[in-house]
Amino acid sequence: MWLLFVSLAIGVFTLVVLLTYVTIKGWPRLDIRLFTNMPSVRDPENAGAQSAITGTLWVISFTALVALPTGVMAALYLEEFARPNSRSQRFIEVNIQNLAAVPSIVYGILGLAVFARALALGQSVITAALTLALLVLPVIIISTREALRAVPRNIRDGSLALGATEWQTAYRQTLPAAIPGIATGTILALSRAIGEAAPLLLLGAVSFITFNPDGVLSDYTTLPIQIFNWTKDSREEFQVLAAATIVVLLLILLAMNFVAIWIRNKTQKRW
């Protein structure tokens, strides 16, 4: 039994070491300049990550704008409208499960070929947002379906018996009852998208950006990409800067996780 406990403890221990290490390493540069200054190759002492922070906000907002409605509509269809266990439903289901496990870099290739080149959107905020939206869509669909499934049958039956149509039942009864679950799943999916770097490497985010995005067709960089760029620079000051930026990124993700868990606990309903 102790052996089993140790195997769990190793994972937890690594997590603790990792968090401690980046905090200590990044500490000297964890200050306001990180938020007010732009990245720089010449002046590591004063370089910041402002363009990466605003870029992340831009990209993730549009990711959510595309992925959330599409994901919820798809989940509503699969859970409330499609004939259960029909061939097409099973096919879509396996397809979504597989998409959830496709390597993220493959989504980068898709984004490069379709959004950046074929649709000529180039290296822009919208290319990144559309690609990340496709990446998190399976996660949102799967968690939304689980939330819908947790709503008891009685509520639907009661609504239908009172003469509501299928759509009225889904939109006014089932969906509102599932919102906390959907919110939790979506926040977790978006926090995955925020940390994602691999597909963006193919979508032009590597270029050196010292300005904030000013529109969906603007150039951009994001926090994970900025971290990657600084990690590649072997000068010690940039490693410190990378660690400090990692702390900022992890704090954002941690805050999102807390909100998700808070919603889950606060609204946990016993039917």
Partner 1 sequence: MSETAEGLSLRQSRPRYGEKIIRSILALAAFVSIFTTFGIVVSLLIPSIEFFLEVPITDFLFGTVWTPLFKNGEFGVIPLLSGTIVITLIAIAVAIPLGLGASIYLSEYASDRVRKVLKPTLEVLAGIPTVVFGFFALEFLTQAILIKIFPEIEVFNALSAGLIMGVMIIPTIASLSEDAMAAVPSGLRDGAYALGSSKRQTAMKVVMPAALSGIVAAFVLGISRAIGETMIVTIAAGLQPQLSFNPLMGMQTMTSYIAAAGSGDLATGSIEYKSIFAVGMLLFLLTFIMNIFSIRLVRRFRQAYQ
222 to 241, contacts with partner 1 by CB under 8 A?
A: 224, 227-228, 231-232, 239
Residues 167-186 that bind partner 1 (CB under 8 A): 167
> What is the per-residue DSSP string for 220-266?
---HHHHHHHHHHS-SHHHHHHHHHHHHHHHHHHHHHHHHHHHHHHH
Name which of 206 and 263 has its Cβ closer to partner 1: 206
Q: Is 134 in the site for partner 1 (CB under 8 A)?
A: yes
Closest-CA residue to 78 (of 94, 64, 67, 63): 94
- Nearest approach in angstroms of CB 100 to partner 1 is 8
Q: Which stretch binds partner 1 (CB under 8 A): 12-20, 28-36, 42-50, 147-155?
A: 12-20
Residue selected from 27, 35, 81, 262 as contacting partner 1 according to rule CB under 8 A: 81
Is 23 a binder of partner 1 (CB under 8 A)?
no
Selected from 52, 59, 110, 132, the binder of partner 1 by CB under 8 A is 110
Binding mask 197-216 for partner 1 (x = CB under 8 A): xx--xx---x----------
Long-range CB contact pairs, 126-130, < 8 A, 24+: 126/62, 126/216, 126/217, 127/203, 127/204, 128/59, 128/199, 128/200, 128/203, 128/205, 128/220, 128/222, 129/58, 129/59, 129/60, 129/61, 129/62, 129/63, 129/65, 129/66, 129/216, 130/62, 130/66
Is 11 near partner 1 (CB under 8 A)? Answer: yes
Q: Which of 12, 32, 120, 161 binds partner 1 (CB under 8 A)?
A: 12
